Structure 1
Amino acid sequence: MCEFEEKVKKNLLACGVSPDGSQKIGLAVSGGADSVSLLLALSSFLSSLYVITVNHNIRPALESDGDARFVSELCQKLEKENGKKINCTIIELPRGSVEAEAQKRGRGTEDAARSLRYEAFEKFISQNQLDALCLAHNRNDQLETILMRFLQGASFDSAGGIRARRGPYVRPLLNIARTEIESYLTGLGITWRTDKTNFETDYLRNKIRLKLLPFLDENFEGWQTAALKGAEKNAEDSEFIQSCLEAFKILQNADGSVELPLDDFINAPEAVKYRLLLEACNRAGESERIPHQFLKDVILCQAASFSKRFGSIEIRRKNNQLFIKKYSESNTDLVFSDIIEESGTFEFPFGNLLVFNYKEKNGKACVSVQAGENSLAENIPLPFFVRSFRPGDTILSADGSEKKVSDIYSDWHVPPEKRSLLPVIQMLDENPQSIKAILGGFLGYKDWIVKL
């Protein structure tokens, strides 16, 4: 057994998985270098292995079918040459199913493919009664994830990066660099498949991999170690804070709503309050992202009785209890509008709108407008109109042409139920009154701001 294989075996043990044959272990293989190296390493010391490969059918058939065939043939080769039992299952998603899922979720193709892939993993684990399913995320993936979540303003929990183990999923390559993986395969004379989409910069992860990482490597010596250590500390702190939730009583009602004792909530540390609210929203049935600012507004509110709402989630404070409930409703219930004439903080269904930095510019009173922590439009003339999206809305593009706001939301993959939450800023000192900004950053989308 070579050094690489010894390292994989050690990492497997560190994840709580025994390589002595007493547990049933599976592996997801795409055909890329990472998963192929893990397949070879695991087969060097395991007597049996359950392999799954998922054909998403989102690339040309010659490529995606070729990947699945490559994995199947490699498993057969290893089984024949090494005398190991390798059960290979190919899951083929119907062509168009990923695109349909992306349309349903409003999150893009990559997210939809991941969701369907993990559905297949869950069934595979259950059908084969696996104790663990190995995934081939490596050290480079970890660094990309840490940077990506930082740039997206992710929560403290997410800043810890990828976990070595989460439930049945284990990652024995997480501390192994891509260069070491490729050296191992090259030394064995083993080839691998390459996904051409890895070289496209349409996705944030690819931009980080192809542009940001090379820049950091060239200009900031030691940044990788610092980033990994920081993420490790965040993960440890997050795990401790998460464990504190066990001391709090979260009551689930028959109608799906959730209750928290108000006194317990008020006396909890700030970091625990945030996680309590998030956990309560999840238990109430909300699986979509909830902005940090919305939860922060609930934590900071001192009113004896209040009701705050984001999308379909409502959080009420009444009778010494916090009530969290998810509602099913149409977008028409979320229509809002108001004329802003001065600086201050204004409450809307999407959260608070902060208007500040009052100054004179070109003879006009101008302000900065902020929604959440990640959306900011500057030099907006007072007064202005803030409202929800309306069918037929248009806004100027960089080239001076008009673009439909609905098309922008489609490009951003904003689901229909969230479109009415993104505030639109409309000028009142123009004829006709044009839209100058769409603030989507607080929900993890982009901001569209017309330069004034």
Structure 2
Amino acid sequence: MSLSAEEKFRFSLENFLKTVKGNLSQDTVAPPHILAAVSGGADSIFLLHMLHRFMPEYGYILSAITVNHLLRPEAESSGDAEFTENICAGLIPPVPCFRVDFDEGYVLSVAADRKKGIEEAARFLRYREFDRAADACGAGLIMTGHNKNDQLETVLMRFFQGGGASSLSGIAGRRGRYVRPLLNITRGEIIGWLNTSGLLWREDASNADTLYLRNRIRRQLVPLLDEILPGWQRGVLAASEKAGMDDAVCNSLITAEWSRQKDSVFCGASSFLSMPEALRLRFLQRGLSELGVPHRVPSGFLLRAARSPERFPPESDFLISGSKLKFYRQGNSFFLKTDIVQNSKSGYLVYITSAGNYTLPFGNITVSGEKDAFFFDACFGPFPLPLIIRSRMGGDNLRTAEGKKKKLKKLMNDWNIHDDDREIIPVIEYNGEILAVYGKPLGYPDWYIKN
């Protein structure tokens, strides 16, 4: 007998309460104190009301925090923060709310320093403020409103980005003092409960911007999967859970240690070579963390480093370089080192003379078609052949539809392209003229002018 919508949601709430209670029992603070991260959106407003509703039963103290990044128009961004403050103040009993307002342009400046993009910088700053507020009020747990849909979108996004078992395991239910008790509840269930209860929330207009990969997955891919592959969510979540189990086992088997030496880390060659490739890969990722590498490192570099060493004798001058890094052998040790100089010499150029699969620094591109109508990945074009796909060069200019010139650098600034991605984003050239910039493989828009 199938469950009604109401029964299903009651079951979801039971899972929520079980998660909250289980994490409270692990908290060492007495009485337990929870800090709820609230943006004003449906998920976090639901979380706030649920935590407030069950305060008397479980005996914890509840506080909230809201962060205004000021990345959207001030009326909208500050409005979200004010809305959250008012919701917290209107509860009986009221919930103390920390409000943090960043200065205009602050997140952008941090993004430029960290070289990981605006979203990453906003997340870094947001979680820093969560930790500060938790320390200030003595909260042992920080709870966020990530839900089941967020989990699915995250796993899909990381799969398409070539993630391994660690990333495919998705959003952790608990990591340190951070707890996400809504991972078993869908966005639809949350909105349904809020509507039924007559409760309001705020919509973030940037969630509709398909410039971001997550939004494209949410708005374009997920509806298509729902239509053509019913039940796909169960399969994805099951695979994610298994990936997490596998990753935990693999990480427990790593016995080697990195040692720090100025701008490098090193380990014993025998220890590294004794590990299977899967463990070497994870060990190399630990090395990146030890080095504090601030940029995204292509999986190709790590895979080459994991697979290649045993093919070289101990006395050989073994070296792999790329992505501002060097991995090399020196005597009885392997070294992983930052290599800033090589970045200025990076670049690539590939001639496209026929249909086929072509390997570029970020992955493969499929060229298909006939005569003068060839497409990249069956979606971008048409183009004539032969073409050149290359990295950017100094002085690159684009010809707009009006016949005017626009600097490629200006286009990349308009798209907020990460510094590292600027070196590999494909520029498509025909007869000495730039026809297109193919941003989609790296999560950016496309620019294209038809000759």
Provide TM-score, normalisation by structure 1.
Answer: 0.79
Deviations 1:238-296 (A, max 9, x none): 12212222x1122222x142112112212211111111111112212213211111111
Contact 1:375 1:441 in 2 (8 A): no
Aligned to 2:317: 305
Structure 1 residues 24, 110: closer, same or farther in 2, change over 3 A? same
Q: Mind listing any 5+ residue stretches in structure 1 that lack a counterpart?
A: 341-354
Alpha-carbon RMSD across the aligned residues, in angstroms, is 3.7
Residue identity in the other structure for 2:256: F
Q: 1:438 to 1:206 in 2, by over 3 A?
A: closer
Superposed counterparts of 1:279-358, under 5 Å: 279-301=286-308, 302-303=311-312, 304-329=316-341, 331-332=343-344, 334-335=345-346
Residues of 1 paired with 2:208 and 2:446: CA distance?
A: 26
2:96 aligned counterpart, secondary structure: strand
CA distance in 2, matches of 1:265, 1:326: 19
Q: Name 2:18's counterpart in structure 1.
A: 10
Instruction: Say yes or no: does 1:250 pair with 2:267.
Output: no
1:74 is aligned, of 87, 95, 108, to 87
Which has the higher mean CA deviation after the structures are superposed, 111-120 or 134-143? 111-120
Alignment of 1:235-274 (within 5 A): 235-245=244-254, 247-253=255-261, 255-274=262-281
Partners in 1 of 2:69 and 2:30 — Cα distance? 31
The change in CA–CA distance for 1:448 and 1:191 in structure 2 (over 3 A counts) is closer
The worse-fitting range, judged by mean Cα deviation, of 117-126 and 7-16 is: 7-16
Question: Are positions 1:55 and 2:64 aligned together?
Answer: no
Q: Which of these residues, 99, 103, 111, is aligned with residue 90 of structure 1?
A: 99
Kept in 2, the 8 Å contact 1:5–1:41? The answer is no
Alpha-carbon distance in structure 2 between the residues aligned to 1:320 and 1:9: 53
Contact 1:9 1:42 (C-alpha < 8 Å) held by counterparts: no
| Range with bigger deviation, 437-446 or 56-65 | 437-446
Q: Secondary structure at the match of 2:253?
A: helix
Change (3 A) 1:285 1:7: closer
| Counterpart mapping for 1:118-197 below 5 A | 118-197=127-206
Q: Which residue of 2 aligns with 1:206?
A: 215
Matched-pair identity in %: 35
Change (3 A) 1:448 1:323: farther
- Corresponding residue SS for 2:53: helix
Aligned residues: 418
Aligned-partner Cα distance in 1 for 2:78–2:415:
30
The SS at the match of 1:282 is: helix
Q: Structure 2 vs 1, CA of residues 272 and 27 (structure 1 numbering), >3 Å: closer, same or farther?
A: same
Please show how residues 3-42 of structure 1 align to structure 2 within 5 Å: 6-15=14-23, 17=25, 22-42=31-51
How far apart, CA to CA, are the structure 1 residues paired with 2:206 and 2:442?
Answer: 26
1:215 equivalent in alignment to 2:224? yes
Distance change in 2, residues 1:24/1:426 (3 Å): same
Amino acid of the structure 2 residue aligned with 1:312 = K
What is the CA distance between 1:34 and its match in structure 2? 1.0
What is the CA–CA distance in structure 1 between the aligned matches of 2:171 and 2:406, rounded to whole Å? Answer: 38
**8 A contact 1:143–1:227 mirrored in 2:** yes
Query: In structure 2, do the counterparts of structure 1 residues 437 and 239 end up closer, same or farther at CA, with 3 Å as the change threshold?
Result: farther
Counterpart-to-counterpart distance in 2, 1:18 and 1:374:
43
Answer whether contact 2:40 2:80 (CA < 8 A) is retained: yes
- Per the alignment, residue 365 of structure 2 pairs with 376
Query: Judging changes above 3 Å, is the alpha-carbon distance between structure 1 residues 53 and 384 closer, same or farther for their aligned structure 2 residues?
Result: closer
- Specify the code of the residue in structure 2 equivalent to 1:311: S
Q: Tell me how far apart the structure 2 counterparts of residues 450 and 235 of structure 1 sit (CA, whole Å).
A: 44
Amino acid of the structure 1 residue aligned with 2:409: S
Q: Measured at CA, do residues 51 and 337 of structure 1 come closer, stay the same or move farther in structure 2, by a change above 3 Å?
A: closer
CA distance change for structure 1 residues 60 and 406 in 2, over 3 Å: closer, same or farther? closer
Once the two structures are TM-superposed, the CA of residue 330 in structure 1 deviates from its matched residue by 8.2
Are residues 312 and 251 of structure 1, via their aligned partners in 2, closer, same or farther at CA, if it must alter by over 3 Å? same
Distance in 1, matches of 2:99 and 2:120, equals 21
CA distance in 2: counterparts of 1:194 and 1:283, whole angstroms:
39
Contact 2:361 2:424 in 1 (8 A): no
Letter of the 1:323 partner, please give it. F
Q: Is the 8 A contact 1:256 1:285 kept in 2?
A: no
Instruction: Decide which of 276, 280, 298 is 2:283's aligned counterpart.
Output: 276
SS at match of 2:36: strand
**Equivalence for 2:241:** 232
Partner of 2:408: 405
Tell me the CA shift for residue 63 of structure 1: 2.2
Cα separation, 2, equivalents of 1:66 and 1:97? 19
Could you tell me how far 1:172 is from its partner in structure 2? 0.4
Are 2:396 and 1:393 equivalent residues in the alignment? yes
Residues 153-175 of structure 1 deviation map (CA, whole Å, 9 limit, x = unaligned): 22332111111112221100011
Residues 67-119 of structure 1, C-alpha deviations (whole Å, 9 max, x = no match): 222221221222xx2x4x62211111112222333444455443332222122
1:227, CA displacement in angstroms? 1.1
Post-superposition offset of 1:326: 1.7
